[in-house]
Homo-oligomer: A and B are copies of this chain.
Amino acid sequence: MNKYQLFTNIMKKQSFLCVGLDPDIKKIPHHLLKVNDPIFSFNKIIIDTTQEYCIAYKTNFAFYEAAGISGLISLEKTIKYIRENYPDQFIIADAKRGDVANTSKMYAYAVFNHINYDAVTINPYMGEDSIKPFLTYANKWIILLVLTSNTGSYDFQFTVVKSTGKYLFEQILNKSQNWATDEQMMYVIGAMHTKMFSSIRQIVPNHFLLVPGIGEQGGDLEAIAKYGMNNYCGLLVNSSRQIIYTDSSKKFAGIVSKEAKKLQLKMSEYLVKYLK
């Protein structure tokens, strides 16, 4: 999916919501544990009840790997289900990849060719050649971790670089723009760093930002929209736990749907107010 198709979907649905599919067997509604493939069944219900309100899904590999081979089968079934039933959804492999070039080439094959994701999250620490192999696929995206939504983001990401006086994460924003265009690359900026969105937009005015961490991890949606939106919206705001674990009764589907709709309605309001 290219940038203009993504923007079109955002405007059609009046939403820039990405739903995180992080199925934890300890948290999914109990009655689903009795069915065949609880993880896929849970995902399917979440997808069917949220697809109207979101434009993207993000699957976090950890939650599938923890369930072993059967979890990975559920993962592949989930992506196939979205592709076949909701082809307009943008699908993100949240796998935080990045390795030496010949290894990154294999990871890229796995996520883009084998599973057919639209995008994959990448850790920038290993530099340009670890990222290049992911950029050889047409209409596929990398999403570079820049400023993450955890307290550990303060350990190294805010390190001040001697030669420029800038933060390390700003140096990554600057340097990575030589590697790929804003039609191939997005950035992860955690919602908890609300105050940084304005200065980040000065460095990367045109790129999409994937914003995790609203809800449980804190983060103010309106401020993100106000300071982060550009003229292609430029935001994918992810919510995982706040939506998918909002209820665990047999009626969870209706409640999950309401939660997603609540976020979509806010986003619709902010698109009117803040779209450049």
Contacts and interface: CB of A to CB of B under 8 A. Distances in A.
Contact of A154 (B69, B96, B127, B131): B127
Interface stretch (A31-39, A99-107, A200-208, A259-267): A99-107
B106 A126 contact: no
Contact of A62 (B63, B76, B99): B99
Interface string A75-110: 010000000000000000000111111011011011
Contact of A129 (B98, B109, B128, B150): B150
A228 interface: no
Contacts of A153: 126-127
A150 B127 contact: yes
Interface stretch (A6-14, A45-53, A165-173, A250-258): A165-173
A24 to B, nearest CB: 7
Contacts of A160: 161-163
A145 B126 contact: yes
Q: How many copies does the complex hold?
A: 2
B73 A69 contact: yes
A66 interface: yes
A114 interface: yes
Contacts of A24: 106
Interface of A: 22, 24, 60, 62-63, 65-66, 68-69, 72-73, 76, 96-101, 103-104, 106-107, 109-110, 114, 123-131, 145, 148-157, 159-163, 165, 168, 171-172, 175, 212, 217
27 contacts: A62-B103, A62-B106, A65-B106, A65-B110, A65-B114, A66-B110, A66-B114, A68-B76, A68-B114, A69-B72, A96-B99, A100-B149, A123-B123, A123-B125, A125-B125, A125-B148, A125-B156, A125-B157, A126-B145, A126-B150, A127-B151, A127-B154, A128-B151, A128-B155, A129-B150, A160-B161, A162-B165
3 closest Cβ pairs, A-B complex: A127-B152, A127-B155, A62-B106
